[in-house]
Structure 1
Amino acid sequence: MKKTLIAFVTLAILASCSKKESTGNVHITGNIKGLKKGTLYIQRIVDTSLVAIDSIKIDGNPAFESNITLDSPEMLYLFLDRGVTNSLDNNIMFFAEPGNITIETNLDNYISGAKITGSKNQELYEQYSKINSRFIDENLSLVEPRFRAIKRQDLKAVDSITKLQENNIKRKYLYATNFALNNKDHEVAPYIALAEIYDINFRFLDTIQKSMTPKVAKSFYGKKLTKYVGDLKKQQPTQTPE
């Protein structure tokens, strides 16, 4: 009888632990190679600040696990407090969504070495970022030549480089718009519209907002885009009939 009671209590404890571990609809696991000690914080943006929604202590074992709840897919951040030095290379962006997500990286290349799997929105965002980085690099490559042209007062060269920069920005915005429209059935679409091209011509944002599928329109970023477009619409000049 005593053994039966002990066995029952043990099973109850295990069941309780299992239930606690599975709390939440987003299960995040990962490994940070080379990390011996520190604290990981899973953060989200609230208003304009990063707020921690979970913390994980690392002490010897670089593997980590977290269970959180999200109403819809959302861009989160995995912040590493190294405990010794303050590094700029300490916050990994990842597009979280319900299901199992894995984040693997290393201490030396915490951001650039990160490999994130298990999220379709993350996969799409990485595709977008790969092409978008080319526009960023091209713009950076024009900064120094333009500065030199200004310094030597070569107005013709300044004008030429300025036009190249403006054309690059137009191509960047057009790419972001087309990417959002082509992926209107994923939450990455309204996110890109809000984070990357919020200052584009109103009609492009309006088109992206109207193209969203009902599921995406009800999501966190879908609602934000709808509100943003609605606010912009109120600011648009009214056209009087001729």
Structure 2
Amino acid sequence: MKKSIIAFVTLLLLFSCNKKDSKTNLHLTGNIKGLKKGTLIIQRVVDTNLVAFDTIKIDGSSTFETDLTLDSPEMLYLFLDRGVTNSLDNNIQFFAEPGKMNVETNLDSYTVSAKITGSKNQDLYQEYKKIDSRFRNENLDLIALKFKAIKSNNKILLDSLNTKQDNNTKRKYLFATNFAINNSNQEIAPFIALSEIYDINVKYLDTIQKTMSPKVAQSLYGKKLTEYVTKIKTQK
């Protein structure tokens, strides 16, 4: 009888462990070349603040792995604690989704050298950022020229540069809108709408919201976009 009870308890413990393990749906691995000792903190955005989601200790080996639970694809941040502030140079942004993902980088150029694989949304986000950087760079060039025009009190040139900057912004927003609509079956669509063009005319946000696939509409960012569009429409 005593043996039966022990066996039963053992089975319950095994079932409990398996049940716990089954809840994780993202296996994240990585390698930070040159890092022998330190702390990695996986962060997520909660109420506009970055909060710790998981902590990984590095001691002797530059490789790491962890298992996470995601309710839906979500933008996460891999923060390398160097004992300084939570700066952009220490934080790798990646669009996490269930499955297997890998992060490869090095200690010297932590964010710049980062290569992330295993996520369709991440691939699309990198594609988006590559083109979006052209608009950002052009805007920076125009700002520099505007500063010179103001310094030389050249109002005609300043007006021309302001027009070019407005057109650049319109092209950037149009590109972001089309990119979101063309990828409406991925969670990157509502994320771009909320993070990149939240202040665009609501009719464009409404179009993105209506083109989302049912799966995306029920995701974290899909629900947030629907709530946001509804709120804007109510205020009008």
Normalised to the residue count of structure 2, the TM-score between the two structures is 0.90
Give structure 2 stretches of 5+ with no counterpart: 1-12
Give structure 1 stretches of 5+ with no counterpart: 1-12, 237-242
Matched, 1:148 2:148: yes
Per-residue deviation, residues 171-220 of structure 1 (Å, max 9, x unmatched): 00000000000000000000000000000011000000011011100000
Q: In structure 2, what is the equivalent of residue 35 of structure 1?
A: 35
Query: Aligned equivalents of 2:65 and 2:108: distance in 1?
Result: 21
Query: Aligned equivalents of 1:234 and 1:76: distance in 2?
Result: 31
* 8 Å contact kept, 1:180–1:192: yes
* 8 Å contact kept, 1:150–1:158: yes
Query: Aligned equivalents of 2:161 and 2:182: distance in 1?
Result: 31
Per-residue deviation, residues 79-135 of structure 1 (Å, max 9, x unmatched): 00024x556410000000000000000011111100000000000000000000000
Change (3 A) 1:174 1:141: same
* 8 Å contact kept, 1:23–1:67: no
Q: Which amino acid aligns with 2:213?
A: T
* Cα RMSD after superposing both structures: 2.0
Report which stretch shifted further, 175-184 or 74-83. 74-83
Instruction: Give 4+ residue runs of structure 1 displaced > 4 Å after superposition.
Output: 13-23, 85-88
Q: In structure 2, what is the equivalent of residue 99 of structure 1?
A: 99
Per-residue deviation, residues 49-81 of structure 1 (Å, max 9, x unmatched): 111111000111000111110110000000000
Shift in Å at residue 235 of structure 1? Answer: 1.6
Change (3 A) 1:34 1:230: same
SS of residue paired to 1:89: helix
Q: In structure 1, what is the equivalent of residue 163 of structure 2?
A: 163
Normalised to the residue count of structure 1, the TM-score between the two structures is 0.88
Q: In structure 1, what is the equivalent of residue 220 of structure 2?
A: 220
Q: In structure 2, what is the equivalent of residue 78 of structure 1?
A: 78
Change (3 A) 1:39 1:21: farther
Matched, 1:128 2:128: yes
* 8 Å contact kept, 1:74–1:97: yes
Q: In structure 1, what is the equivalent of residue 230 of structure 2?
A: 230
Change (3 A) 1:21 1:59: farther
Query: Aligned equivalents of 2:66 and 2:233: distance in 1?
Result: 41
* 8 Å contact kept, 1:25–1:69: yes
Per-residue deviation, residues 26-65 of structure 1 (Å, max 9, x unmatched): 1100000001111000110000111111100011100011
Change (3 A) 1:34 1:72: same
Query: Aligned equivalents of 1:229 and 1:135: distance in 2?
Result: 26
Q: State the identity as a percent.
A: 65
